[in-house]
Amino acid sequence: MSNKEAIGLDILYEDADCLAVNKPAGLMVHSDGRDEGPFLTDWILEHYPEASKVGDPMNGPDGQPLERGGIVHRLDRETSGVILIAKTAIGHEHLKKQFQDRTIVKHYVTFVWGEMKEEFGTIDRPIGRSKSDFRRYSAGRGAKGDLREATTFWVKKGWGTAPVDGSKEKFSFLEVEPKTGRTHQIRVHLSAVNHPVVADKLYAPSRLPALGFQRLALRSRSVEFNDLSGRRIKVAAPLPSDFRAALTLLGIEYL
d(CA 152, CA 155): 10
d(CA 44, CA 50): 9
Is 76 annotated as catalytic? yes
Give me the catalytic one of 17, 42, 76, 242.
76
CA-CA-CA-CA dihedral for 143, 145, 146, 152, to nearest 10: -20
d(CA 23, CA 141): 34
Does a cis peptide bond (omega within 30 degrees of 0) precede residue 38? yes
Are the CB atoms for 59 and 75 separated by under 8 Å?
no
Q: β-pairing, 105-113 with 80-86?
A: unpaired
**Residues counted in the chain:** 255
Catalytically active residues, by annotation: 76
